[in-house]
A and B are shown apart, each in its own frame.
Chain A
Amino acid sequence: MQTFYRKIYFLFLSAFLSTACLAGTIHGKVIDSKTGEPLAGATVQIEKNSIKLFTTVNLDGSYVFKNVPAGKYELTIKLLGYQTVTEHGVSVAADNSLVLFNTSMKSESAELESVTVSAGGKETDHTVRGLEKTAPVLENILSQKTIELLPDLTVANALQRVSGVAIQRSSSGEGRYAIIRGMDERYNNTLVNGVKIPSPDAKYRYVPMDLFPSDMLERLEVIKSLTPAMEGDAVGGTMNLVMKSAPQHFLFNANMATGFSGLFSNSRPFAAYDHGAVNNQSPAEINGNSYAATQNDFSKGNLNFTNRSFPFNTVAGATVGGRMAQNKLGIILSASYQNMFRGSNSDLLVPNAQPQVVGSLDNQSVISDLYIRRYSTQTTRIGLHNKIDYQIGRNNKISLYNMYIHMNEFQTRSTYDSVYLNKLSDNLYRSRTQKQSIYNSTLQGEHLLVKQLKFTWTGTYARAKSDVPDMAEYDYQSAVTPGTYIVQKTSRIWQHNTDQDLAGYLNLSYSPNVFGRSSEFSVGAMYRHKTRDNYYNDYSLTPVLTGGLPQYWTNYNSASYTFNPASNATGAISAANPNTYTSYENVSAGYAQFRFMASKKLELMGGIRIEYTKQSFNTVMPESFAGRYGTVQYTDPLPSLHLKYALTDKQNLRLSYFRSIVRPDFYEIIPTQNNGELFDIKGNDSLKHSTADNIDFRYELFPGGADQLLLGVFYKNIHNPIEYAIVRNGGPSAQFFEPENFGTAHNYGFEAVYTKYIGMFGLSANYTYTHSEITTTKQYFYRDPTLGITSKLLQQQRPLQGQADHIANLSLLYKNPKIGLDVQLAFVYTGKRIAQVSPYYNLDYWQLGQGVLDFSFEKKIKGHFAFYGKINNLTNAPAKTVIYQAPAAGNAFPDQGYSDKTVVGKDIYQINILGGLRYKF
């Protein structure tokens, strides 16, 4: 019999190109039962006796079997995480007919919804498109699958794929902070599973997003409008990192890859130092503040560098999870490890700290130094998280979430500093070790008290730490005789800070049917106690005069250094400084929120949130100092209203309003002077927090499948924005940057997202236009007939720092489920934007528009294995920074080529390649 059928089958196959008269076609679409999202990659099998045919669902959800012998088949569709669909008796007539079989699959995941805290409405949809479509607020989501296929390894880099988001890069070219709709990191907050996490940053509240390996995420949400149930301190948006939760069935995934950066070679090696030589504690921490340190207290090993030509990167991750005890207990455990060697080659023209009057030209930025910098950065990330949920009866669920993120950064920076128009050069070598971590433990409960009345609670402890132990730098300077050098100063800095949160959240929601329509009314409260400590201790040693003269350089180990004056060797001088402080912050909030269908098509959601903030600080300043400690308190009512009108089943119109706030950073309200890179920074005790009114209007079209078209406009009115301005009320020692409130800033823009899949090809594009305006005070130098060269303060209007007018993403996808191949080419363009606001008129630093092209692929190979690769920065696009001033006549600056602007910075990161294996069970 079998032979017979096979023969028949071959007969059909041989008739493939001709119109087979004894066969038909089975085709159809497979979508998610709730969201309608096409379930690409699902396997479809038809079986009749010994005939077994397979195919895989395409990106647009379609599948097709051609030339199927007539008969009655059993059709099975399987996809991990979904209930298997089986259909008996799909009949194919022997008349070349088409059989259409469309189906939807039900997700079987039973996770505890983590957005409970952040988004008042509890949605049970599981795929991101569905969440976006049905969410009461505006959000963009990247799903786990999307993230997995992205060329990005960290959450920061993945964020740049989200509509309206640009990223700020670190010195090794890695994304670090997100700028959402032109609002820089100050204006955004970060949640993990809906719970706010503290930042390990030494100065700021915002969280460095490169801490998080992206493979820990179930999805990444960028929420652009806030509801009363959400923390009210985001203007650009809230980034919610939803971590993987326990699956319905046993799951085991692992991946491992290796690669390298194209930057390093024999001629441009990676400069490494002995990590073990880094002293974790300063001499003052070990011996007390009265101890006078000597050169021998400082390790030499972290200033001795060894070259590595081709360091290899390693990425590994594993996730295991499942449910047990009759599905009541769900556990997931996920670990991620990255060890990356990155770097950059950076040319930096350093303008003199103050503009000059050059001939008849006022306010000219004059280049004083050229820095040629080489960064070698080893970044080690470890991410661990686990989630346990337990179902008690039908109505109660408890979950415990733990996360630990750790990132070590070992960075060598060499600087060849040549003083312009002068052959003098300095050679500086620095090693900087930074250990950052975030630990978070969250216990949540969800209780259906009575029908329609639900109570949820959350208790969370989180601690963020940063430790920069023994940042060390030395310098030697060219002497008059070529090839000889003079020993210069050397410095050692220890800095560490912790930021610790204890928070509790309570929510009560009541979901009655009003006039036959579903609705939800909820109230809630939140309290958070935050403690922040900062420690800073710096030592500056100068070379011993040998025989009364400066010392010639041979190497660091043989240079001899001392402290002048001797008292500067003690912690009493070096550690007791305003950078050492303690801050507390208590935030309590309450909200009332409603959500109901006002008509069949109009959904209304809104309410009010009230946030009370009490911030206090304590410094090491003496009694004579005004403001050595202080407290500031304020309360904000934050109303919001979100309308969603369903034009048709596939189209929505949304209109949103919300008010939100931005709190000053802790040190910004402390009236002490802190060391800054260019200028000292002085806190401002009269600084007010910012409030913003935000309006969004959006049209959404979901034509089916994963296709979408989103068009939206937004407007933000920010009252009391915090910006830095220069304050000069004395000499160089009394001039500093100070955070100040600058009236009102405006920010508006337009956003478009378009996704279209055709067969195995997909196109995903988004574009955001943003325009912001803020007016701040700038200093302008000119020649006055009586005063001579002097300066005045002028008001200058500019965009907000980091805001690019144009941000665009374009991704081309090819997904061939039959051969198990996924390919993605991703292009990001970020337009011109202010990289650094200058205190001087017209001299802001602009980063020129930059397009970065990345590529990634994944190919299934035998069994559960897949081979994957990620290639970043294919075109080696340099990042260029300019000031809008014509280059000085006759200059020999590198990297120029414009008549209207001077290129002051050029960073090259080179291509990064990574390839490895993924195992999925």
Chain B
Amino acid sequence: MKKSLLFIGIVFLFAGCKKWDENLSLATPVVQVAQPISDAAPLCGAIKGTMLTGKTYTIGCDVVINKGDTLTLQPGVHINVKNKSGIFVQGALISLGSKDKPNFITVDSLAALKNDAPNQDPAKDPAFVGGWAGIYCASTCPMLILKWTHVEFAGNGLSIAQGALVNQSSGTAFSILFQNPTGIFVMEDSWLYGGVDDPIRISNGRICFMRSTFEKAGIKGGDCLNTKGGTVGDMAYNLFVGIATNGQKASNKGQPVGGQQTNINMWNNTFIACGYRQIQTGRGANINFEEGARGMAFNNLMVNCKFGLRIVNNPAADTANIRYGYNYEYGDSLVVVNQIYPTNAGLSGGWTRPMSTDIPDYKTFLPANYQFGDTYDGTPVIQKNNPLFYNFPLPVPGNIPLYGIQAVNKYDFRLQAGSPAIGKGFTGFAPVGAVPIDPVYGVTEMTLPGIDIGAFQSNGKGNQHY
């Protein structure tokens, strides 16, 4: 008994003296020191510095731009990405291509197989294979600037090691990810070709997409410019051809605590044959406002898309704070024109109100007692108001189904003189202006709303890809 009392005593002594708090030891991450850039050998690991004009670089395995570091591309840089690797940006990436010397981030072996003639089978098209991971920015990335830059064939599923660099699950298959609410992402006069899931996912950030071209984006789902909660900025003068789902989407989903409401102004964009590869029935428009997002949509030109402008009702976009009008729709077939204003029967859940400034004039085909979501007969406007592109056959010839148009190919979407889209635009609003105007660290030119509908202005302004 004495012994047991002694033990109790010792135990209490222990309890009194020793600090028994939690003691945690964790594996510390291995961070590589950034290496200078060379075009002599394939790049691998942490890199920083400048890629020089006219040089071709090979990325041989995943490259990381460490937090605080910057990788700059001078005009005329060609990057060939091999081994399904990716560019992981914890610091900044600035690609300064020019009209004469655009930059390329591509997979050369796939680029050689590019075939943009209509009617390609998406199951075999190299655009959709995910030839490399893509450009993935971490939440520490202050800046992603792409000027006159081609980003092609990205969208391979992330491995766990890749995902861990940017806080993503393995299997994620974007082409570009941006996720810093205070960082800026500018894509100006650039091109995005191909992709698997959302080609460009903006979890949040301050953005500007100006005068860029998007083709064959997303194989059977995926919104081309998919912005989520806390994204502010502008999307204007962009051209979208053959996008799986939406060209431009604004949603306030997943907004950070205390973040800004998603607010995107979208003007003077052109959408050709979008939404057909999306496997979900009600989805796929050209512009979507969803779940708490606000903004504007004016002067957009939509040709042969699965749905017209879609203001989603559940969960509802911030309808009280969305302004839209002066949008122009063209449809070859009854199926298309019957969804200029998305119907409940079309299973789209749209809440788009017809506007008196829309083309065609809704009074010519909607019944007098029309309520949004109602089914209507669009027969009067089939193939009406041909926008008269420089080089694009409308109506689309019978041997090409509408969904067979997937890329710009040799088409030219400038407006011919005499196009009914000329001079019909609205210029009485301003951009959100979330990024600085700057030739390097911002947007070089913020092109204000244009008087002609669509991305190409008859005064030569707007999209320069022709």
Contact = CB atoms under 8 A, between A and B. Distances in A.
Interface stretch (A237-245, A729-737, A842-850): A729-737
B26 A574 contact: no
Interface string B123-163: 10000111000000001000000000000000111111100
A623 B29 contact: yes
Which one of B4, B27, B31 has the greatest number of beta carbons of chain A within 10 Å? B27
Nearest to A421: B314
B403 interface: yes
A823 B348 CA distance: 58
A357 B292 contact: yes
Contact of B26 (A630, A779, A787, A791): A630
B255 A548 contact: no
A352 B255 CA distance: 14
A549 B403 CA distance: 8
Interface stretch (A267-275, A478-486, A640-648, A876-884): A478-486
B291 A352 contact: yes
A-B CB proximity, top 4 nearest: A731-B203, A788-B261, A732-B254, A565-B130
A788 B4 contact: no
20 contacts: A421-B314, A477-B280, A486-B280, A548-B403, A564-B197, A568-B173, A621-B160, A623-B29, A624-B164, A626-B27, A629-B27, A630-B24, A634-B20, A671-B26, A673-B167, A688-B22, A730-B203, A789-B294, A791-B259, A793-B257
A324 interface: no
Given A573-B170, A635-B20, A422 B253 contact: no
B170 A576 contact: yes
Contacts of A779: 257
Interface stretch (A381-389, A494-502, A537-545): A537-545
B426 to A, nearest CB: 23
Given A542-B220, A625-B29, A634 B261 contact: no
B344 A422 contact: yes
B458 to A, nearest CB: 34
Interface in B237-292: 252-261, 263, 276-282, 291-292
A779 B119 CA distance: 48
Given A366-B315, A542-B220, A733-B179, A480 B129 contact: no
B196 A565 contact: yes
Interface string A714-750: 0000000000000011111111000000000000000
A568 B169 CA distance: 12
B160 A545 contact: no
Contact of A631 (B25, B202, B204, B260): B25
Contact of B20 (A366, A480, A510, A636): A636
A146 interface: no
Interface in A314-365: 352-354, 356-359
Interface in B23-46: 23-31
A422 B349 contact: yes
Interface string A460-494: 00000000000000000111100000111100000
Given A421-B313, A422-B349, A577-B170, A545 B277 contact: yes
A40 to B, nearest CB: 43
Contacts of B15: 608, 610, 637, 639
A631 B315 contact: no
Contact of A730 (B1, B29, B158, B256): B256
Interface in B101-135: 119-123, 128-130
A545 B203 contact: no
Contact of B179 (A573, A594, A734): A734
A444 B308 CA distance: 76
Interface residues of B, number: 101
Interface string A575-619: 011100000000000101010000000000001101000000000
Given A359-B320, A577-B160, 8 more contacts: A424-B282, A545-B121, A545-B220, A564-B196, A632-B24, A729-B139, A731-B228, A734-B179
B259 A787 contact: yes
B353 to A, nearest CB: 16
Interface in B382-418: 401, 403-404
B169 A680 contact: yes
A412 B62 CA distance: 43
A98 interface: no
Contacts of A373: none
Contacts of A632: 22-25
B11 interface: yes
B100 interface: no
A732 B229 contact: yes
A362 to B, nearest CB: 12
Nearest to A685: B26
Contacts of A577: 160, 169-170
B219 interface: yes
A402 interface: no
A788 B1 contact: no
Q: Taking chain B's interface residues, is the majority helix, strand, or loop, or is none over half, making it mixed?
A: loop
Which one of B21, B26, B167 has the greatest number of beta carbons of chain A within 10 Å? B26
Contacts of A594: 4, 8
Given A562-B123, A730-B139, A622 B25 contact: no
Interface string A207-218: 000000000000
Contacts of A622: 160-161, 164
B11 A608 contact: yes
A355 to B, nearest CB: 9
A452 to B, nearest CB: 10
A94 interface: no
A685 B1 contact: no
Interface string A486-527: 111100000000000000000000101000000001110000
Interface string A685-714: 110110000000000000000000000000
B276 A549 contact: yes
B68 interface: no
Contacts of A486: 279-281
A633 B7 contact: no
A523 B7 contact: yes
A357 B294 CA distance: 12
A536 to B, nearest CB: 11
B169 A675 contact: yes
Nearest to A614: B23
A48 interface: no
